[in-house]
């Protein structure tokens, strides 16, 4: 299989200094399954782009930098899917809360017919503050009541694999995240994952959820309360659009 790895990036100089791109580059460099690594910058205003251009593009030939205006992580992922050149796309958060080596678990599920394979934190969420764990469980209950997503426990783990043609068909039908919008801050656009998986189920694609290692990484790009409110609004939008028949 030939795979494009998508890494969204927004003001990630701290994570880059920790060596996350070295880990990704070293892992993919000799692995023929990974044909390209697309780092999609979401309008960073720190040194992220400069370091990537001056160091990492020269060090790792598979790396390619795509520069977006600041629109939120969802649109960085969408850009990566559209510009990817190969049969499968893998999306990973740049902080490597899930180690890149865990991708083997996702890839193995393609042999079982998985067209969308999603990493799951398996309710453990090691290291996460207790309040976040409680709110996360509450969020899952609300999500299930409003829009369902039967059989899927963890929609928000930033570690997923898509069959590219399936992903392209899904993103063509997105409604909440279909147009350009300017993010005022480091919006994680969590509703994107939900709308994507909601459409994946509606269109009959085989979705497989697989437990992966995950460790909490504190980041300034996530405001749990703000992002939860934003996501709940998106869930209600998805429900309304579905009732209106907009997803047919």
Q: 216: Cβ–Cβ under 8 A, 6 or more apart, which residues?
A: 97, 125, 126, 127, 128, 129
**126 pLDDT tier (thresholds 50, 70, 90):** low
How confident is the model over 172-193, as pLDDT tens digits? 999 988 755 555 555 556 789 9
Residue with structure tokens 């996702």? 106
Hunting for tokens 């998985």 — which residue is that? 114
The pLDDT value given to residue 79: 96
Q: Which residue has the higher pLDDT, 216 or 247?
A: 247
Instruction: Flag whether pLDDT at 216 surpasses 80.
Output: no
Residue 49 reports pLDDT greater than 80: yes
* Fold of the domain spanning 3-243: Spore Coat Polysaccharide Biosynthesis Protein SpsA; Chain A (3.90.550)
In this prediction, residues 51-76 reach a mean pLDDT of 96
Taking the domains of the chain in order of start, what are their residue ranges? 3-243
For 82, the token pair is 């559209």
For 138-150, write each residue's pLDDT tens digit: 677 788 888 888 8
pLDDT tens readout for residues 14-23: 999 999 999 9
Calculate mean pLDDT across residues 225-243: 86
Q: Which two tokens stand for residue 237?
A: 């939008």
Q: Which of 247, 155, 218, 231 is nearest to 14 (CA)?
A: 218
């Amino acid at each position: 299989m030939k795979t494009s790895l998508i890494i969204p990036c927004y003001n990630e100089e701290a994570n880059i200094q920790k060596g996350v791109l070295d880990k990704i580059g070293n892992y993919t460099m000799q692995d023929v399954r990974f044909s390209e690594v697309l780092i999609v910058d979401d309008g960073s205003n720190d040194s992220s782009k400069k370091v990537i251009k001056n160091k990492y593009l020269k060090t790792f030939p598979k790396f390619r930098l795509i520069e977006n205006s600041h629109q939120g992580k969802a649109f960085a992922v969408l850009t990566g899917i559209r510009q990817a050149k190969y049969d499968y796309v893998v999306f990973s958060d740049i902080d490597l809360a899930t180690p890149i080596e865990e991708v083997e678990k996702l890839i193995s599920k393609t042999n079982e017919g998985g067209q969308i394979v999603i990493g799951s934190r398996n309710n453990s969420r090691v290291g996460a503050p207790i309040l976040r764990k409680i709110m996360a469980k509450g969020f899952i209950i609300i999500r299930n009541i409003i829009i369902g997503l039967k059989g899927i426990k963890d929609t928000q783990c930033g570690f997923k694999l898509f069959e590219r043609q399936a992903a392209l068909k899904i993103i063509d039908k997105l409604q909440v995240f279909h147009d350009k919008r300017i993010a005022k801050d480091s919006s994680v656009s969590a509703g994107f994952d939900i709308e994507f998986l909601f459409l994946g189920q509606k269109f009959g694609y085989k979705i497989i959820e697989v437990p992966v290692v995950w460790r909490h990484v504190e980041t300034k790009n996530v405001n749990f309360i703000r992002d939860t409110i934003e996501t709940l609004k998106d869930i209600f939008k998805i429900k309304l659009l579905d009732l209106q028949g907009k997803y047919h």
